[in-house]
Amino acid sequence: MRGATVFTHRRVEQVAPALAALRTAARDEGVELRFDERETAKHAIVSAPGVVADAEVANDVELCLVLGGDGTILRALRRYAGTGVPVFAVNFGEVGFLATVEPDELGDDGFHRALRRDFEVLSLPALSVEAGGGIHAAINDVSIHRKVGERVAHLAYGLDGAEVGRVRCDGLVVATPAGSTGYNLANGGPVLAWGVEGFAVSFIAPHSLAARALVVAPDDPLTIDNRSREAVDVTVDGVAAGELGPGESLTTRFLRDAGALAQEPGSSFYKRLRDKFGKLAA
């Protein structure tokens, strides 16, 4: 039987009607829905024909369905990075910049079309970073910031083996095109259209008039050195990933074709930008 993984966010009552509609559509389309331990406990899922409770999150599925906001979508994209499994996301968050559709756009056949793979697939790049003893793939961004209550961080950054500058700041953000409209944009960093090969670097509260955001070529690795007396925190897509001690460094690299995001036919980055951020400005 064809299989699909399901991820949802923590507001169970908000997604319950959509989850019921998804289960009906999956039964109609002959697709087995797989819920891991967390999702099983959250929704009190019981195994039945076409539904697998306490399932391992496996790579041999046709699709990952997300009912949630950008945090949940990012979790799904990170989990299936490099596998080719597309993520079809219904926005139950605030902005939902990565979502495929809004709940009111599903219609009566939205889940049926998703399960039939009646959508386009956009390939998303990622950033690799080694932190906290492991290698992480960031779909949105990698951020480095001073610990709460500690002094301003002193960070040096270099590209292709050459130091570019040193900045006293609260931290810095390295963002993919998909993540350029998030933390990076809040820092005054550049918005990169989806399809641009490269990544952005912006600074959090820099104590310098010379610190400027920059766009980095895709094949140039970025090295960040902690010249502070204290450790600084490292987060990947908003999730704590470890820390960078005094005198330590980390390197981030651009990864092509890491994530697969389902899109409605005819959708575009610029329409998404207008619709999502135009609403916030209204």
Q: What proportion of the chain, given as a percentage, has pLDDT over 90?
A: 81
Q: Where are the alpha helices (DSSP H) in 205-282?
A: 269-281
Q: Which residues contact 70 (CB under 8 A, 6 or more apart)?
A: 93, 95, 96, 97, 98, 99, 140, 182
CATH classification of 2-119+264-281, choosing from 1.10.3720.10, 1.20.1050.10, 3.40.50.10330, 3.30.465.10?
3.40.50.10330
Q: Is 70 an active-site residue?
A: yes
Query: In whole angstroms, what is the distance from residue 41 CA to residue 238 CA?
Result: 24
pLDDT digits 0-9 by tens, 135-172: 889 999 999 999 998 899 999 999 988 999 999 999 99
Q: Are strands 214-216 and 51-52 parallel, antiparallel or unpaired?
A: unpaired
Evaluate if residue 277 carries a pLDDT over 70. Answer: yes
Domain residue spans of the chain: 2-119+264-281, 126-257
Evaluate if residue 32 carries a pLDDT over 70. Answer: yes
The pLDDT of residue 279 is: 56
Query: In whole angstroms, what is the distance from residue 25 CA to residue 10 CA?
Result: 22
| Phi, psi (degrees; rounded to nearest 5) at 174 | -115, 120
pTM for this entry = 0.89
| Residues forming beta bridges with residue 239, ordered by sequence position | 236
Query: In whole angstroms, what is the distance from residue 267 CA to residue 255 CA?
Result: 24
Of the residues 28, 54, 60, 70, only one is catalytic, namely: 70
Mean pLDDT of 70-96: 93
The pLDDT of residue 259 is: 94
How many C-beta atoms surround the C-beta of residue 167 within 10 A?
22
- Tally the residues of the chain: 282
The pLDDT of residue 282 is: 44
Q: Which CATH superfamily is domain 126-257 in?
A: Probable inorganic polyphosphate/atp-NAD kinase; domain 2 (2.60.200.30)
Higher pLDDT, 274 or 60: 60
Mean pLDDT of the chain: 92
Q: Where are the alpha helices (DSSP H) in 141-244?
A: 183-186
In this prediction, residue 235 has a pLDDT band, given cuts at 50, 70 and 90, of very high
Query: In whole angstroms, what is the distance from residue 196 CA to residue 193 CA?
Result: 6
